[in-house]
Amino acid sequence: MYYGSETERAKENFKISGMRIQQGFITEYLVLKRSAAKTNIALGKLDKRIGNAIISACDIMIKGKLRDQFVVDVFQAGAGTSVNMNVNEVVANLAIELLKGRKGNYKMVHPNDHVNMSQSTNDTFHTVTRMAANRKIKDALIPSLGKLHKELQRKSREMGNTIKIGRTHLQDAVPMSFGQEFSGYAASVEYCINELSGARKALMELPIGGTAIGTGINAGKGYARAILREIGAYEHERFKAASNRFAAMQNEYAELICSNALKDTAITLNKIANDFRLLGSGPTAGFSDIILPAVQPGSSIMPGKVNPSMAEMLNMVCFQVEGNCTTIDRAADSGQLELNVFMPIIAFNLLFSIEILSNAVSTFAERCVSGVRPNEKQTEKYAMMSPEIATALSPYIGYAKAASIAKEASRKKMDVLELCIQKRIMSREELKRILDPKKLAKGD
């Protein structure tokens, strides 16, 4: 066991959910601890031998060792002190071992005096939350959305000439192509990528060096600038000091920007998933515009039933992300005075949303979008039979007469073209030119 008495106390006090803060968060905390040690050595505050042992201990754990030693429940005392001390104690004890000492001999390496030197939970937890969220958005979520965007664009090109009926209010509208419909989905995903890229800019502002409440007490001159450089060099990122450290510790503006970008992304993806489910409904009593890949049996009782499983999965992930955003909102607006103490639940939900969205989007792109096909016979039939194709006649015969034809076609279950020919509205050739669904889909 590498954790100490403070972690053990927190472990006993908070037997709440069995859920732990994400491993990516722990990794970033270790990056911060090694950066603090390097900075304190350079500033002459930390003995080089002790500091190098701390750095080596962090490097070992960054590679994945001793991850079972981070044991504090997500639901814990505010601010995240238990998590910070869990990290401090594990790093200290491993550093002691590396110095050939016995674990617990804090005279050699102390969790507070050495590992936590120039730091507080209050500035480090905020900083690590932003570092971890930035890393996961950059490395996982944006690439997953990029994959989905690419698949939707490919499908837009692949199905570009297949005509279907557009729908508004769940009623027939005018013809369009699958290429147009899927280009809309692709562009919507691109908007999400751009919004998340903007959120990353807010996450790049770190309050490190503010220590307890933003004043920087016990950090020392030059520490804040130096550790920012150290973290940035290790992460290959251009982090910068929070424009106001007091604001960054009182109010989670960057976390809220990020959370709301995740919620906006979830809302957009949820709408796309809903459309896929609706367009794929059937096969005999629904829209049946598209044929979704059959990834698994859809029923334990009805043989041959195939459900839109991947779209349903994405729906549920989006619901969870929207709920996580509500939790973050409540935690952020419940902060008081110099510190928001609800950072553990903010960090957990933020990273949870990024993780499940990343996985869900990648899976949806690979197992659903990549294999979707248009039901061409069905969609072209719908396009020709829709009474709303009469919209194209309005410039020639007026809105009222076109509306009358649309209603009669609907009532008699006839397509508009045949009804107009029957009524001798104009020549067959002229009607075919005006009512050509492919021409109508182009809008000219």
CB 173 within 8 Å of CB 165? yes
DSSP states of 67-111 = GGG---BSS-SGGGHHHHHHHHHHHHHHHHHHTT--TT-TTTS-I
Catalytic position from the list 5, 17, 197, 299: 299
- In the residue annotation, 299 being an active-site residue is answered as yes
Token pair for residue 233?
């060099």
Secondary structure class of 174 (helix, strand, coil): strand
Exposed e or buried b per residue across 120-148, where buried means at least 16 C-beta atoms within 10 angstroms of its C-beta: bbbbbbbbbbbbbbbbbbbebbbebbbbb
Q: Return d(Cα 276, Cα 264) in angstroms, integer.
A: 19
From 350, 139, 346, 366, select the one nearest 263 (Cα to Cα): 350
Pairing of strands 240-241, 205-206: parallel
Unique residue bearing structure tokens 């050495």: 114
Q: Return d(Cα 417, Cα 432) in angstroms, integer.
A: 7
Secondary structure class of 6 (helix, strand, coil): helix
Bridge partners of residue 20, in order along the sequence: 73
Token pair for residue 150?
């690419």
Token pair for residue 399?
């809105």
- Alpha carbon 101 to its chain centroid, in Å, reads 44
Secondary structure class of 215 (helix, strand, coil): coil
The Cβ-side half-sphere exposure at 315, using a 13 Å CA radius, reads 12
Token pair for residue 292?
């979704």
Identity of the residue numbered 299:
S
Spell out the residues 6+ positions from residue 225 whose beta carbon is closer than 8 angstroms to its own. Answer: 209, 241
Identity of the residue numbered 362:
S
Token pair for residue 26?
């722990």
Spell out the residues 6+ positions from residue 373 whose beta carbon is closer than 8 angstroms to its own. Answer: 159, 290, 291
From 226, 256, 228, select the one nearest 241 (Cα to Cα): 228
Pairing of strands 290-291, 373-374: antiparallel
Residues noted as catalytic:
299
